[in-house]
């Protein structure tokens, strides 16, 4: 399984670097960054170029947001490559899990995403009041 992580700016690169700090180098990952000069067509060309270096591999493309240029270009890529799994809204915990599941099938990855998509929480709702420390005059 290979992963292509695409974002606006350097988010994809930074998130992959963070994942590698935790898991070690990830040779099955490619990264693309969309800039202000990028178009859907230029991004699609970059996707095709990246994937062409690993013909015959199973791919998961992860984009930062649904409806952005990385997603839209990836969605167009699916027209010619329906066997690719496209995921919108990646974050560090998701990348960590996927990178540890390189042998997982697309169906297993979809199942993981469906069961963990509510993992982003507001900590305020779960905040436990901290006991105040006593002050001592010395």
Express each pLDDT in 85-118 by its tens digit: 999 999 999 999 999 998 999 999 999 888 887 7
| Cβ–Cβ under 8 Å, residues 28 and 59 | no
Region 13-29 average pLDDT: 97
- Residue found by looking up tokens 């042998």 in the block: 103
Residue 128 has pLDDT above 80, yes or no: no
- Average pLDDT on 17-34 reads 97
Predicted confidence band of residue 119 (pLDDT cuts 50, 70, 90)? confident
Stated pTM of the model:
0.86
pLDDT for position 136: 60
Q: Is the pLDDT score of 60 beyond 70?
A: yes
- Give me the pLDDT at residue 118, please: 77
């Amino acid at each position: 399984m290979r992963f292509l992580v695409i974002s606006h700016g350097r988010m994809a690169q930074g998130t992959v670097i963070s994942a590698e700090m935790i898991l070690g180098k990830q040779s099955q990952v490619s990264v693309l960054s969309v800039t202000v000069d990028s178009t859907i067509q230029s991004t699609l060309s970059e996707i095709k170029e990246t994937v062409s270096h690993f013909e015959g591999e199973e791919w998961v493309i992860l984009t930062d947001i649904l409806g952005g240029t990385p997603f839209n270009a990836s969605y167009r890529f699916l027209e010619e490559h329906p066997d690719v799994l496209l995921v919108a809204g990646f974050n560090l915990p998701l990348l960590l899990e996927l990178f540890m599941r390189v042998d997982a099938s697309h169906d297993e990855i979809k199942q993981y995403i469906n069961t963990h998509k509510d993992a982003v929480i507001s900590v305020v709702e779960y905040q436990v009041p901290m006991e105040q420390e006593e002050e001592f005059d010395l």
